[in-house]
Structure formats: C-alpha cells, structure tokens
Structure 1
Amino acid sequence: MRAFVITGPGRSEVVEVDPPVAGPGEVVVDVERAGVCGTDMEFFSGDMAYLASGDAAYPVRIGHEWSGVVSAAGAGVDPSWVGKRVTGDTMLGCGRCARCRNGRQHLCADRYEIGIRNGWPGALAESLPVPAKALFELPDSVDPALGALVEPGGNALRAVRAAGPAPGKTVLVMGPGTIGLLAAMFARAHGAVVHLLGATAESLAFARGLGFTEAWTRTDLPSVPFDAIIDATNAYDLPAFAVNRVEPGGRVVCIGISGEPSLVDTRQAVLKDVTVAGILSASGGLGETIETYASGAVDPRPLIAETVGLAEAADVLVGKRHGSAPKIHIDPRF
C-alpha cells in the first residue's frame, strides 16, 4: 500500500509499504480522511519535542486525526466491526498500569500515540492498524470529513469542559486556529458568550465569518470581564496574559504548547483564586464530540480549506494551502 513517510527534517516521500495485518485485539482501518495538524508540521521541520526526548525517531509515518472503514479484525475482536465506519483514540495505553486502570491511558508512561509516539504508524496511508478498544463507531450523519475532525474536536471539547462554560458566562479563546475555533464552537454550543483573540487580520476575518463577531487583536481587546480564558496558541507569554485578564475566581485553560517555557506569576493566580488547567489529548472527549457533530450542534466542516492526496502532503506540511480555513485533509486513496 502507499504511505507518506517523513525520513528526516524537511525530507519525505510516498512509498510502497507492506499493508498492516490485524494482530490480536486489533483491526485494520482503510483510511478515508486524515487531518494534518501542527504536531505533524513539527515532525516535518524537526522541531517536535519527542524527537529530542527519544519518544519518536525518523522515519515517521504521521497522521492521528482520521476516519475510515474497518476492513479486517484480528483474533479476539468482534467480527461485526468489519464494514463499520470509525475513528479512534490517538492515545494507546499499556492497559496494565495504574493510570490505564483508572481511565487515564492518555497519561500512560509506556503509551503509543498513533502517528506520533513509539513508532505506531499513522493515518497518512491507505490502511492503519488500530486496537479495537480505541475505536468509536461513526453514525451516518458524521461523514468522513467530520470523522477526521473528531480527534481535534475532542481536544477542544475537553478544554471547554475545563473552562466551565454556561449560558451567560463570557469565554475568551486565544488563537483562532483549528483547536481554538473548535473550542469557540463548543463554548458557543454551551451557551457561553465567546470572544476570540488573534494575531492576523485574515484569521480574525475568517472567525467573524463563522459568526464570532467579537474577534480582536491584543491591542483592541475590550475590557470585558472574562469568566474563563482558553489558550490555544503557542505564544510563551499568553498564559501569563490570561491569568492577568481572567476574572477573580475564573479559569485559565492551557491547550497550546509554546516552544519555550511559559512563565506565570503564581502569586497572581493565588491572590485571584484562579484555576489553571492543562489539557492533553482528546481521550475522554471523543464520544461526546461525535454526538455533538451528529446532532448538528457543532458543524466544523467550514474549518477545512481543502482535501488533497498523499502526493501533496509535503506541501501541506510547509504551510501551502488554498483559502483561509485552518485545516487541510488528506485522502490517502488519491
């Protein structure tokens, strides 16, 4: 089968590889859509932290936002999975440690991450092996494009949960990229009054086109009392900015990761009685994300700028795209 492989910083190729075989407890998924995100771009540039820590090494087969159809089931797997449309969790814990047993497999020290950690192959390929326990069935109302947006949506949903949105509460989302806009959509669906903070006129114009009229740069951000602030950027100084701007007793949720240490004055957090939370992965948010997409309460399809084939993946990873929407999808069948 064909697969996209990153062989080193700035180097990649589409190659023929052996198709996956479903091992015990596993299925094979024929991939219909795979999203490209900032983590994938960091693998291509060589800046991904796992490369330095030894949790990942070249060659890397990326792709952790995906949807597809189960084509084979291994020993111990219910054969009724075959033919079902699915997506799945990126985080694959060992299943034996205390974290896994307590439902926190995404924090397992020995975890695999599909297309990211410890060599588990990703979805920029025609087929993908996945543990059956990581699967989520997709209803007919969640098409392949929506299915490949479940993983980023689960991240955003967990950030919104941590922010504690409610009707009448005001939430500021910093960073109108894919995760930030998804968080804004989920917060709005919970009845919150949503503001967005961005850095470019183009990104803010796109956000306004999605109905987020309260979209600002840092220079014109109004003096609004924010009950919660979600940081979906990679700016090292914005977590401190969020602690400074959030209302006393409010919540600051960090889901973006800076390339350098972010400094927060904990004295200010204590004296304002602020809750600061970090969010890693979509684990625990995938099922509700699927339900929310299926109901139509959140429709993130306008976030997709275009869908291209494997041969164009390298261009996507260096930032080439058409349109102002933030997400690019790959159809590995092209």
Structure 2
Amino acid sequence: MRALVITAPGEAEVREVPVPRARGGEVVVEVEQAGVCGTDLELFHGTLSYVRDGLTTFPIRPGHEWCGRVRSVGAGVDQSWLGRRVVGDTMLGCGRCRRCQSGRHHVCAVRTEIGIRGDQPGALAERLALPASALYAIPEVLSPAAGALVEPGGVALRAVRAAALRGGERVLVLGGGTIGHLCSAFAVAHGATVTVADPRPEALELAGRFGAVGVAPDDLPDEPSFEVVMEASGGPDSAQRAVRLVEPGGHLVLVGLANQPSMVDTRDLVFGDLTVSGLLGASAGLEGVIAWYAAGEVVPDDLVAAVVGLSQVPALFRGERPAQAGSGPKIHVQPSRHG
C-alpha cells in the first residue's frame, strides 16, 4: 500500500509499504480521509518537542486526524466492528499505570501517540492498524470532512468543558486556526458570545460562519473584558496577553503550543483569581464530538479548504497551498486518491 513517510527533518515522500495485519486486539482500517495537522508540520521540520526529547525518531509515518472503515479484525476483537465506519483515539496508554487505570491514558508516561510519538504508524496511508479499544463508531451521515475533524473537535470540546460554560459568557478565542474555530463553534453552541482574534482576514470571515465575531488582535481592548479566554494560537507571547484579558475570577484555557517557552507572570493569575486549564489531546472529548456533529449542532466542514491525494502532501509540508483551495485552515487527504 501507499503511505507518506517523513524520512528526516525536511524530507518526506510517498512509499510502498507492507499492508498492516490485525494482530490480537487490533483492527485494520481503510482510511477514508485524514487531516494534515500543525503537529505533522512540526514533525516534518523536526521542531516538535518529542523529536528534541528523543520520544519521536525518523523515519515516521504521520497522520492522527482521520476517519475510515474497519476492513479486518484480529483475534479477540468483536466481529461486529467489521465494515463499521470509525475514528480512533490518538493516545494509546500502557493500560497498567495509575494514570491509565484512572482514565488519564492520554498522559501516560510511556504512551504511544498514533503518527506522532512511538512506533505506531499514522493515518496518512491507505490503511491503518490500531487497537480496537481505541475505536469510536461514527454514523454514515457524517461527511468525510466531519469524520476526519472529530479528533481536533475533541480538543475543542474539552476546552469548552474546561471553561464550564453555562451560557451567556463572553468568550475570546485567540487564534483562528482549526482548533480556534472549533473552540469558537462549540462555545457558541453552548450559548456563549464569542470573539475570535486573528490577523488574517480569511480567518475573521470564517469566524462569522461559526457564529462568532472576528477581530484583528490590535482591536482587542487593553483591559480584562472576557469571562473566558482560550489561547489557541500557539504564539509565544499570546498566553500572557490572554491573562491580561480575562476578567477576575474567570477561566483561562490553554490549547495552543508555542515552539518556544511561553512566559506568564503567575502573580497575574493569583491577583486575578483565575482558573487555568492546559489541555493535551482529544481523548475525553471524542464521544461527545461525534454526538454534536451527528446532531448537526456543530458542522465543521467549512474548515476544509481542499482535499488532495497522498502524492501532494510533501508539497503541503513545504508550504505549497493546493490550487483552488478555499479559505479554510485545514487540508484533507484521501489516501485512495491518485494524483
């Protein structure tokens, strides 16, 4: 089968690789559609912290945002999975430690992250093997775009849950990328009044499609003005700015990851009596996102600017945007597509 392989920092190619077989407890999924994530770009450039820390080594086969259909099952797996449309958890814990046993497998110290950390190949390939325990069924009604946006949606839904929205709150989302817009969409669906700050006009226009108000960062107020601020830009100075914009007693939710240390004056957190949440991964949000999408309460499809084949992904990694791409921040891949 064909799969994308990052062979070294700055180098990627499509290769013929062996078709995976489902071992005990595993399934093999035919990948319908997969997303190219900012994490994949960091892997390509070698800037991801896991690379620096030796937790990820090359070559690596990326891809962790996907949907597909189960084509084979290994020993011990319920046969009813065969033929079902699914998505999967990226985070695979050891299953034995206290974190895993308490439902925190996404922060297991020895976890594997599909297509990111460890030796579990990712979904930018025609087929993908993974444990059946990581599967979530999705309905046929979901578009391929929505299916492949379940994983980033899980991060966003966790962010909204962390903010404990009850309706009526003023929420600011810093960053109009995929995660930022999904945070905005779920916050709107929870009854909040949402502002998205981003310097790009196309991001501000897209914010309006999800029910938010888009503003340029320079147009934000200088004083605390929002009960909740979600930092989704990953800018190194954005977290400290977020702190200054949260109303006393409010929530600061951190989902963006900067490529360098983000400095925050903890005195501002204390004097503001702020609740601060940092979120890693989508695990606890996946089931909820599927329900929201399936009900049509959040429709994420406008985030996808183009759908390409595997052969075009190396060019994407080098910064080339597909011809005729729309304004959305996300590029999707159909591994079965040639050309």
Fold in common (TM above 0.5): yes
Distance in 1 of aligned mates of 2:154 and 2:257: 17
SS in 1 for 2:241: helix
Equivalent in the alignment of 2:327: 324
CA drift at 1:225 = 2.4
CA drift at 1:40: 0.3
What does residue 137 of structure 2 align with? 137
What is the SS of the residue equivalent to 2:181?
helix
Aligned to 1:220: 219
The alpha carbon displacement at 1:110 in A equals 1.0
Instruction: List aligned pairs for 1:121-200, cutoff 5 A.
Output: 121-200=121-200
Matches of 1:194 and 1:224 in 2, distance apart? Answer: 15
1:18 aligns with 2:18: yes
d(CA) in 2 for partners of 1:106 and 1:167?
A: 29
Give the deviation of 1:143 after TM superposition.
Answer: 2.5
CA–CA separation in structure 2 for the residues paired with 1:167 and 1:199: 27
Contact 1:20–1:128 (Cα < 8 Å) also in 2: yes
Residue aligning to 1:310: 310
| Cα distance in structure 2, aligned partners of 1:117 and 1:263 | 26
CA contact (8 A) 1:164 1:228 kept: no
Query: What residue number does 2:7 align with?
Result: 7
Q: Look up the equivalent residue of 1:238 and give its one-letter code.
A: S
Question: Does structure 1 residue 89 correspond to structure 2 residue 89?
Answer: yes
2:167–2:192 CA contact under 8 A, matched in 1? yes
Instruction: Measure how far apart 1:324 and its partner are.
Output: 1.6
1:211-237 deviations in whole A, cap 9, x for unaligned?
A: 42x211222114672010000011111
Runs of 5+ consecutive residues of structure 2 not aligned to the other structure: none
> Unaligned regions of 5+ residues in structure 1, if any?
none
Q: TM-score, normalised by structure 1?
A: 0.97
Give the TM-score taking structure 2 as reference length: 0.96
- Structure 1 CA distance for aligned equivalents of residues 68 and 27 of structure 2: 12
Specify the SS of the correspondent of 2:142.
coil
**Percent identity between the aligned chains?**
53
2:38 maps to 1:35: no
- Cα distance between partner residues in 2 of 1:128 and 1:287: 20
Would the aligned equivalents of 1:156 and 1:183 in 2 still touch at CA under 8 Å?
Answer: yes
Q: Which moved more, 1:116-125 or 1:223-232?
A: 223-232
Equivalent residues of 2:22, 2:73 under 8 A apart: yes
Does the CA contact (< 8 Å) of 2:27 and 2:132 recur in 1?
yes
Amino acid at match of 2:334: D
Deviations 1:278-304 (A, max 9, x none): 000001000000000000000000000
Residues of 2 paired with 1:148 and 1:323: CA distance?
Answer: 17
Q: Size of the alignment, in residue pairs? A: 333
Name the CA shift for 1:259/1:6 in 2 (closer, same or farther; >3 Å): same
